[in-house]
Amino acid sequence: QVQFVESGGGLVQPGGSLRLSCKASGFTLAYYAIGWFRQAPGKEREGVSCISSSSGSSTYYANSVKGRFTISRDNTQNTVYLQMNSLKPEDTAVYYCARAGRCGTIATTTFGSWGQGTQVTVSS
């Protein structure tokens, strides 16, 4: 069964850091582009970052997180990571990972096989 399991979320103060993990099972992670998305209560799910299937160095970020977040992958562990630094209260959301054939515009409609999400709360 195709499955993603997100972990690493929690409560952090503004300016702090978290590292999220997205472990895949039931398929080979290396063959897919993997995106990170987030959804805050009452808001639409939005694309945050994506890493391509062709190269681990091909990465993409939403403008709101550029310079603060870093996506990476370890294909030997079938896992994608999202390092989040300089966190802001606006980053509070449930974070999800999903797969696609290519990153494109990191649109929710082009990704599937969503995980259950992990909660990130940025608050003092």
Q: Using one digit for the tens of pLDDT, what is the confidence trace for 13-25?
A: 999 999 999 999 9
**Which of 96, 104, 110 lies closest to 22 in space, CA to CA?**
96
Q: Using one digit for the tens of pLDDT, what is the confidence trace for 52-111?
A: 986 656 999 999 999 999 999 998 999 999 999 999 999 999 999 999 999 999 999 999
Dihedral sign of CA atoms 106, 108, 114, 120 in order: positive
Note the pLDDT of residue 55. Answer: 60
Q: Is 44 left (phi over 0), alpha (psi -120 to 50) or beta?
A: beta
Note the pLDDT of residue 1. Answer: 87
**Strand ranges inside 1-124, DSSP E:** 3-7, 10-12, 18-25, 33-39, 46-51, 59-61, 69-74, 79-84, 93-100, 118-122
Instruction: Give the integer Cα–Cα distance in Å for 51 and 7.
Output: 18
Q: Which two tokens stand for residue 41?
A: 């209560």
Note the pLDDT of residue 75. Answer: 87
